[in-house]
Amino acid sequence: MPRRVIACAPLTTRPTRYRRNVSEAPGSICPRRPHSGVQELFTSKADTLPVHFVEDPLGNTMAEKPKLTQVFANSHYAASFEAESEDEVYDARKEALVKSMLGEIGEDPNREGLRRTPLRVAKAMDFLTSGYSMSAEEIIKKALFEEDVREMVVVRDIEFYSMCEHHMLPFFGHAHVGYLPNGKVVGLSKIARVVDVFARRLQVQERLTSQVADALMEHLGAHGVAVVMEASHTCMMMRGVQKQRSSTVSSAMRGTFETDPRTRSEFMSFIKG
């Protein structure tokens, strides 16, 4: 249920002072948010940015924080809000680099839509490359169980997102992972996390595939590991040859999967099914 708007007042005015300066219009739909369905009881006549006073579930009156789009719609108030939001620094060096990049491509880094872009890009980059600070060994070792399973374990269609190291553009797709346990099994979600450890770095698909296979082979002590990855590369789709429907398949076979064609074809039939 939407909170009930009980007043619209200029941003800088406190409710008590403000009420002398309003026209009472109980029950009317707030003209600034006609689709919200909230009703306002007072409307400001002042030509300034409104702030809505709302009632919380306990009946207390409080000022509702205006949306940023509202704030910037009125440049008169933009200055004070800018200062507040631009105080936030996430990573000064990365943000400065992104800002100068924006300038280099002919953008105005100070225009409204781009003002906080360096901060957002810095945060996104840190997340997309967070694999550098993760350890596949730690993830696997924490969820390794002794179990006398001799049959092949296959986890297929593990979604992954990575970035090509040549263009720093995304490539993404699915990974299929199989292994033949040798007295130990690992929690299935950990296999997906190992894929992320290597995907969240600058990569080429072939190396990504091998690294996942090698890490599992080493830390699982398995008889064999198979990894097949299918991916679409945005650096091929958006630029270069501009082929939107091509996909790249890479595989890495270790241990029994490499030496025994029957094991390999059993795995391939699992991932196709």
Q: Are strands 224-233 and 170-180 parallel, antiparallel or unpaired?
A: antiparallel
Closest CA to 272 of 162, 174, 196, 149: 174
Q: How far is the CB of 198 from Zn ion (least distance, A)?
A: 17
Q: Which of 205, 211, 219, 223 is catalytic?
A: 205
Q: How far is the CB of 157 from Zn ion (least distance, A)?
A: 24
Q: Which of 164, 176, 219, 223 is catalytic?
A: 164
- 228, containing H or E segment: strand 224-233
Please identify, using beta-carbon distances, which residue of 25 and 204 lies nearer to Zn ion: 204
Please identify, using beta-carbon distances, which residue of 116 and 207 lies nearer to Zn ion: 207
Residue 205 known to be catalytic = yes
Q: Which of 24, 138, 159, 166 is catalytic?
A: 166
Please identify, using beta-carbon distances, which residue of 94 and 167 lies nearer to Zn ion: 167
Residue 167 known to be catalytic = yes
Residue 233 known to be catalytic = yes
Please identify, using beta-carbon distances, which residue of 162 and 256 lies nearer to Zn ion: 162
Q: How far is the CB of 1 from Zn ion (least distance, A)?
A: 49
Q: Which residues bind Zn ion (CB under 5 A)?
A: 164, 166-167, 235
Cα–chain center distance at 51? 31
Please identify, using beta-carbon distances, which residue of 182 and 248 lies nearer to Zn ion: 248
Q: Which of 52, 176, 223, 233 is catalytic?
A: 233
Please identify, using beta-carbon distances, which residue of 114 and 125 lies nearer to Zn ion: 125
Closest CA to 177 of 203, 146, 147, 208: 208
Q: How far is the CB of 107 from Zn ion (least distance, A)?
A: 23
Q: How far is the CB of 210 from Zn ion (least distance, A)?
A: 18
Residue 164 known to be catalytic = yes
Tokens of 128: 């997309």
Q: How many CB atoms lie within 10 A of CB 51?
A: 22
Residue 166 known to be catalytic = yes
Q: Which of 39, 82, 167, 218 is catalytic?
A: 167
Angstrom CA distances, 226 to 75, 108, 168, 176, 209, stand at: 59, 48, 27, 8, 9
**H and E: helices and strands count for the chain:** 11, 12
Q: 190: buried, middle or exposed (CB in 10 Å: 19+, 13-18, 0-12)?
A: buried
**Which residue in the shown chain puts its C-beta closest to Zn ion?**
235
Tell me if 229 sits within 8 A of 162, measured CB to CB: no
Tell me if 231 sits within 8 A of 173, measured CB to CB: yes
**Alpha helices per DSSP H over the chain:** 15-18, 68-73, 75-86, 92-104, 117-128, 136-141, 188-199, 205-220, 234-237, 256-259, 261-272
- Catalytic residue list: 164-167, 205, 233, 235
